[in-house]
Chains A and B, each alone.
Chain A
Amino acid sequence: SQKIEQNSEALNIQEGKTATLTCNYTNYSPAYLQWYRQDPGRGPVFLLLIRENEKEKRKERLKVTFDTTLKQSLFHITASQPADSATYLCAPAMDSSYKLIFGSGTRLLVRP
């Protein structure tokens, strides 16, 4: 069955450093992958989408990579700020699928 793995342990980093979050998937080949941010008590908020033919995508301080050989996506936040503290969810998806299948998320804590 399809499996998505994100580091369940919280990532604790100092303000100004780069945060790197990992998303690994097995038993399927997604055509694209989305990253969402979720704050406590709120629904997920879309951040970035990367397609299988794209190696990397950037948006402001965010960068996502997608390696279909390793079956892995990396999510980077450069010059991290305490306001970046949240849970980050990845959701790889098939081309013909509307529904999102989420990983369990990784909690990021940025210390001032």
Chain B
Amino acid sequence: GAGVSQTPSNKVTEKGKYVELRCDPISGHTALYWYRQSLGQGPEFLIYFQGTGAADDSGLPNDRFFAVRPEGSVSTLKIQRTERGDSAVYLCASSSGGYQETQYFGPGTRLLVL
């Protein structure tokens, strides 16, 4: 079956621009997560959705970052006024939603802010 997909796979933008990153989770998975991974580091938690609502957004670094999941499936991570420090790989994961459930990761979107 299809895994988690993310688009685009690569995104190059200029400082100050707005970007949207999309995540298509595994069908039927109610939980969706966004992580950010910098070179040489492990993924860093950003936000977790259970259904349509953000159950935990404690990892979002500032108010330039926002994520939505309006129909409880596809999610979009939005970054306003991008900065060079936002350059990283943005990973999306989904799970069936219970505690200690395996998270299935997508391939990530590589964002480069020039």
Chain A residues with CB under 8 Å of chain B are 4, 8, 31-32, 34, 41-46, 49, 51, 89, 91, 93, 95-96, 98-105
In contact, B105 and A100 (Cβ under 8 angstroms):
no
What CA separation (Å) do A38 and B102 show in the bound complex? Answer: 15
In contact, A49 and B45 (Cβ under 8 angstroms):
no
Contacts of B50 in A (CB 8 A): 98
Given A43-B106, A43-B108, A99-B33, residue A104 in contact with residue B99 (CB < 8 A): no
Min CB distance A98 to B, Å, is 5
What CA separation (Å) do A49 and B55 show in the bound complex? Answer: 23
What CA separation (Å) do A34 and B93 show in the bound complex? Answer: 15
Chain A residues touching B, majority SS: loop
Contacts of B108 in A (CB 8 A): 42-43
Per a CB cutoff under 8 Å, which of B4, B48, B99, B104 touches A46? B104
Min CB distance B8 to A, Å, is 14
14 additional contacts, CB 8 Å, given A45-B105, A93-B100? A31-B100, A32-B100, A42-B107, A43-B107, A44-B43, A44-B105, A46-B103, A89-B43, A95-B99, A98-B99, A99-B56, A100-B45, A100-B103, A105-B42
Contacts of B48 in A (CB 8 A): 98-99
Chain A, Cβ-Cβ closest to B110? A41
Residues 83 to 114 of chain B near chain A (Cβ within 8 Å): 91, 93, 95, 99-100, 102-108
Contacts of A91 in B (CB 8 A): 42
